[in-house]
Structure 1
Amino acid sequence: MGLAKTYKDGTTPTICIIGAGFSGMCAAIRLQTQLDLKTYTIFELQPELGGTWWSNTYPGCGSDTTSVNYQFSFEMNYEWSKTYAGYQEIWEYQRRVAKKYNLYEKIRFRTEITHAEWHEDLQQWVLDWTDHNTGETGQMNADIVFCGMGALRIPNIPKQFDDFEGPKWHTAQWNHEYDLTNKRVAVVGSVPAIVDKVKKLEFYQRSSTYIMPRKNANISAFWKFLFRHIPFVHFLYYKLTYWGTEFTIQTFSTKWRHAIPRRFAMFLAWCFRFWQIRGKKLRANLTPDYILGCRRLVVSSDYYPALVRKHVSVHTKAITGVKGQTLTLSDGSQQEVDVLLLATGFHVQDTLGEGVVIGRNKSDLAKVWVQGPKTYYGITFAETPNMFFLLGPNTALGHNSVLYMIETACEHAIMAIAHMMERDLSSIQATPKACKDFVDEVEEKMKGMAWSSDCNSWYKNKRGTITALWWSSCTHYWWRLRKFKPQHFTGVQRSKAPTTHV
C-alpha cells in the first residue's frame, strides 16, 4: 500500500518548515513528491536559501565530502566541476533544485521564528514570527513543524577578542569588501586560501589536527558526458564512492578488530605530515597529541603547504591578551596585526535559545537539550509532538555525507505524517521509552569509538556526552528507520481533540 496523502475527510495538515538549507529543502520537496502536500510555509532568516552554503563564503570554503555524494539522491547533478565542490557551486546547485520544485514561492525570507509553543488543547504548534525587512510580527498555527535550522549557523566568537580595535570577523561572516592584500593578518584557526594575498600571516593554532590529503581533480567534459548520457556509469561511480566512504567508519572504532584500517589511516596521516613538513620543530607542533578521530579529520592538500611559507608564523601558545591591534601570548611574545580573522567554529551544543521551543507540559527544549537530548533517532523528542528535526542530535557524521542522514530522517518523518493521516490522528509523538532506549544505546556504542576519548570537541556537550554524532554507518541508520514503527509512538485521535482555534 502507498502512503496516505490526506486525512479521511480529505483535508491535509498545515506545515511549518524552519530553515531553507538542505534540510528544509529536503522536507519541502519530499512533502510535495511523496504526499502531494503543498500546505507548507518555509521561514528563512537569511535573504537567500542555502543555509550553510549561503552564509559561509570565506576563501577556499567547500565541502570535504565528494561532490557525487553531496547532493540529493533524488536530484543528481552531472555537472560538478571538481571532485570536491566549492561553496559557490553547491549553492548554485541548491538554487537550481529550489527553482525546479518552485520552493521560492513558499519561502518567507528574512523572517525568523522567535517562539514555537505546543498547545495541547489545539493540538497545534503556535509560532511567533518576525519579518526583519519590515519589522512586522505575527503568528502561525501549524499542525506539523520541521526544524531544519542546522548546527553550523551560530558563530562561536570568543569574548577575549572583543577588545581588538582593528577590522575583525568570523569566517561565517566574511567581509568581502575588505582587501587583505599586503596586510598583516592574524588567523585563529585556519584559512589557508588567503596565504598568497597577505604580507604576513600569524597563524594561531587552536589545536593540532590530523590532516588527510585531498586530490581535488577537475571532472572533465568526457566524464560529464558519460554521467549524463550513460546512467549506469554515474550510478556505479556514485555507489563506489558511497561505499568506499562508508567503510571508513571503521577508522573511528577503537575496537581491536578494526585495528588495521585505523592504523593505516594513522600511518597515512603521519606520512603526509612528514612529507609536507620538513622542519622537525614545526612538524612536532603540528602533530596531534590525541587519538585519530577524537576531533574532526581535516581533508586538505593546501593546509600544510600554507604553513611552511616564509611569511607565515605558526603559534602554538595560548593568546592571553588583546590590546588595540596587538595579541599577547602566554610566552610573553606579541604580534601586531592589521586584521583579525576568527575560524573558531560554531555553537553546536546550544543552537536553541531558552524559551524558543516550548513543548508538552511547558517543557523548554533548550533546557532539555543541555541536559542531554533524549530523542528518537535524532528526529523527534517525547516532549515535541508533530515536530521533526532534520540533522538533529546524534545524526551528524564524521565519515560520510550528512545529506544521506537528512534524507533518511526526512523519509521517516514523511512516514510518520502518512501514519497520522491514515489513522486520523491530530498528533503523534515518540514515547519516552523509545527515546531513552535510543540514547542509552548511543551512549553504550560510543564507548567503542574514538570520539569518546579524552579530548575536547564540538561533538560533546559540557558533560562530555557525544550529542552530535551517529555512532555507525549511514546504511545502518537507514536500516533502522526504513520502516515506521507505530509501537514507538503514541497519538491523539482527531475526534478527541478540541475544535477551537486561535
Structure 2
Amino acid sequence: MPAMPDSSAGKRVDVVVIGGGTAGLTAGVTLKTKLQFNNFTIFEQSGDIGGTWNDNTYPGAACDSEVHWYSLSSDLNPSWTQSHAAQPEIKAYWKQIAAKYSLYDNLVLNTRVVSVDWNDIRQVYRVATQDTRTKEINYQEANIVISAVGIISIPYYPPDLRGIEIFKGPHFHSARWDNSLDLRNKRIAVFGNGCSGSQLIPVITLDPSVQVINFCKTPPWCFPLQQKGKQVFSERWKWFLGHVPFAARLYRYWIMARQEKFYLMILAEHAAKFGIDTRKMLEDFMRAEAPSEYHDRVIPTTPVGCKRIVLDSGYLAALHRPNFDINYDGVARFTETGLITNKGEEFTFDVMVLATGFIMDEAPVNVRGANGITIEEYYGMKGGPEAYLGVTLPGFPNFFMIAGTIRVSLLLFGYFLKRTTLLSSSDQSSKASSPPSMSNPRRTISTTPNFRRSCQQPFGTELARRGIALEVLVLGKSSAHGLGLSHNIGGSQEAPFGVIIESAVAKSGSDDGSF
C-alpha cells in the first residue's frame, strides 16, 4: 500500500480494539490491568456496550452457559440470580465491568470500523471509521489492531426467505427485536428452531391469545437444561460464594470440569464412544418432553453435533400448548398477509420473526495486510481459513482476532498480548527492527511483530487430526451457516482440544508452534 498523505492519517493510538462486546471489554480490562496500558480505543458500532447482550433483547434471551463460567475470572460475581442468567442481568454485569475499569474513557460508541489497512512504509494500520448516525468517515492510525467482533453479530437472512418484504406486517430478525410491538392476540410466524427460536417461543406462547407456528428446516438435538444445572440461587448460596474464601472460584473450576465432558462427547477422538450414549440420553429426554405425535418431527436423525445443540428451556414442553405448532414444509412464497408453503398450504400472520442465526464466515471489517492482501484473499490462497492458534496470521503484523477465523478464542487473548515480542522474534525479517514490546507500558510498541507460516503448521496439523471426528459429523449434514469445514480446517475450530488443554497451549505455546 502506498504511503498515505498526512492529511488522511488522523490521530494515532497504540491499540485499536474493534467491538465493545464481551471480547472487546475483556481486551480493555487485560490492557489496563495486566499491562498497565491505557493508550487504546475501543470502537463500538452500537449506542451501548455489551455486544450480543445489547443486541439480543427478544423475550427469553438468556445465556446457555452457566454464568459463573461465562464471566471474567478476575471479576467473579457471587450475586448471579440464576445459573443461566437472562440478557438484562448479563448486560448489567458487563456495564459494571466497564465502569469498574474506566473503560468508558476508552470507548467510542456509535462508530463502525469500516476498514483496516496496513501501511508498509509508515509501519502502522490506518483504521477508517464511520459514525453510524451522521455517516461521517474518520481515520486513525494504530500500531496494533485487535478484532473483537463477535461471531454472532451479523444477522443471517436465508436465501429461501427472500421476498419476506412483500409481507405487510411487522417482520424482523430476533437480534433486532421490536420491543414496542404488542404481541397480544397476534398470529406469529417464527422461522428457525435454534438457540434464539427455542428461547423466545416458550415465553411468547405463555400468553394463550398468541398463536405461533414455528417454520423449521431440520430439528436440533435438545439438551435438558435442568440436567445442566439451571437453578435460581438462594440468598444463602450467594452469601456462601461471596464470603467463604475460594468458594466462588472452586465452583467455577467445577463448572469448567463439567464443560469438558462435552468435549469428550462430541469434539474429541472419543466422540464415537461417547456419542452413542449421548444420543440415547438426549432422545429419551426429547421423547419424555414432547407430545408423542411430534416425536417423528422433533427428534433428529443426524448424529449429535451436526447442528449446535439447543439447551432446552421449555421449547419441547411448549408443544403441549394449543397455541403452538411446528411446520417443516418450507416456504414457497410470501404474500401480503402471510405465506404459502411448498405443499400449497396458505397461512395468515400478523408478525414474522426470523430466528435464523448469524453470518459466521464473513468478515464484517475489511482488513488488508502487507502487500495489500486482504484476509479473505489470504484464506483463498491457502484453501480456507487458517491462523496460528486461531488468532493471528502471517503477513498481518500486529493484527489479532479474538474470535479467530470461525472459532472462539477469547481465552487466548492475554497470551498473545504477552507474547507479541516472541512472535516478532520468530520471524527473522522483523527481528532486527523491532523496538521494545508493550509488556512495559512506558515503552513503545513493537511495530513489526510477524511470524513465519511454518510456525502455525504444527498447530494446524494437530487441529486437523483432532477435528476429524467433528468434520465427519458435519460434512453434508449441517444446516448451520458458516461452519466451513468442507475445506482446510487448520486453525479454525472452537476449543478443539478442550478448554483445559487449549488454555495450557495458550500459556505455554512455543515459538515454533509445536506442542
Bucket of the pairwise TM-score, normalised by the shorter protein: 0.7 to 0.9
Quote the residue 1:496 is aligned against. none
Write out per-residue CA displacement over residues 231-278 of structure 1, whole angstroms, 9 at most, x where no aligned residue.
2222221111110111221110475x5555322321221111111123
Equivalent in 206, 219, 232 of residue 208 of structure 1: 219
Paired residues of 2:13 and 2:41 also in contact (CA < 8 A): no
Of 360, 367, 372, 2:370 maps to 360
Paired with 1:348 and 1:272, the residues of 2 have a C-alpha distance of 30
SS in 1 for 2:219: coil
Offset of 1:195 from its aligned partner?
1.0
Shift of 1:384: 1.1
Mapping 1:377-416, distance limit 5 Å: 377-396=389-408, 405-406=409-410, 408-416=411-419
Counterparts of 1:69-80 in structure 2, within 5 Å, are 69-80=69-80
Q: Which amino acid is 1:276 matched to?
A: E
Q: Contact 1:415–1:484 at 8 Å: present in 2 too?
A: no
Is 1:431 matched with 2:452? yes
Give the distance between the partners of 1:382 and 1:323, measured in 2 at CA: 50
How do 1:51-90 residues align onto structure 2 when only pairs under 5 Å count? 51-90=51-90
Provide the C-alpha distance between the structure 1 equivalents of 2:415 and 2:173, rounded to a whole number of angstroms: 36
Q: Residue 414 of structure 1 aligns to a residue in which SS?
A: helix
- The aligned amino acid for 2:41 is T
When normalised by structure 2's length, the TM-score is: 0.85
What letter corresponds to residue 331 of structure 1 in structure 2? K
Residues 5-54 of structure 1, C-alpha deviations (whole Å, 9 max, x = no match): xxxxxxx9711111011111111111111111101011110010101110
Change (3 A) 1:89 1:67: same
- TM-score, normalised to structure 1's length? 0.87
Match of 1:225 in 2: 239
Where does 1:87-106 land on structure 2 (aligned, <5 Å)? 87-106=87-106
* Matched residue count: 465
Counterpart of 2:324? Answer: 312
User: Unpaired runs of 5+ in structure 2?
Assistant: 1-11, 423-433, 438-444
Listed as ranges, the gaps of 5+ residues in structure 1 are 1-11, 397-404, 490-502
- Residue 452 of structure 2 corresponds to residue 452 of structure 1: no
Deviation at 1:458, TM superposition (A): 3.3
What's the CA shift for 1:161? 2.1
Aligned to 2:187: 184
Residue 352 to residue 267, structure 1, CA distance change in 2 (3 Å)? same
CA–CA distance in structure 2, aligned partners of residues 244 and 413 of structure 1: 27
SS at match of 1:380: coil
Equivalent in the alignment of 1:166: 169
C-alpha distance in structure 2 between counterparts of 1:455 and 1:163, whole Å: 31
Q: CA deviation at 1:207?
A: 1.4
Aligned pair 1:374/2:386, yes or no? yes
Structure 1: which amino acid aligns with 2:345? S
Contact in 2 for aligned 1:68/1:238 (Cα 8 Å): yes
| Cα-Cα RMSD | 2.2
Q: How does 1:21-60 map to 2 (within 5 A)?
A: 21-60=21-60
Which digits, 9 at most, give the CA deviation of each residue in 1:443-477, with x for residues without a partner? 33211236534312235228456545332201111
CA deviation map 1:373-411 (0-9, x unaligned): 221111111121101110212533xxxxxxxx41x3211
Q: Distance between the aligned counterparts of 2:303 and 2:359, measured in 1?
A: 24
Q: Secondary structure at the match of 1:70?
A: coil
Cα deviation for residue 154 of structure 1 reads 0.7
Given the superposition, is the C-alpha separation of residues 274 and 59 from structure 1 closer, same or farther in structure 2, using an over 3 Å criterion?
A: same
SS at match of 1:479: helix
Distance 1:416 1:138, change over 3 A: same
SS at match of 1:261: helix
The answer (yes or no) to whether the contact 1:63–1:86 under 8 Å persists in 2 is: yes
When structure 1 is superposed on structure 2, of 186-195 and 70-79 the one drifting more is 186-195
Structure 1 range deviating more: 338-347 or 427-436: 427-436
Match of 2:108, SS? strand
1:207 counterpart letter in structure 2: T
Identity, in percent, stands at 23
CA displacement, residues 35-82 of structure 1 (integer Å, 9 cap, x when unaligned): 111010111100101011100111111111011101011111111000
Alignment partner of 2:420 out of 410, 417, 421: 417
Secondary structure class of the residue paired with 2:449: strand
Alpha-carbon distance in 1 for matches of 2:374, 2:451: 17
Bigger CA drift: 121-130 or 152-161?
152-161
- Residue 306 (structure 2) aligned to one of 294, 307, 310: 294
Which residue of 2 is the match for residue 326 of structure 1? 338
Write out per-residue CA displacement over residues 388-435 of structure 1, whole angstroms, 9 at most, x where no aligned residue. 110212533xxxxxxxx41x3211221123656546842112321223
Q: 1:480 to 1:228 in 2, by over 3 A?
A: same
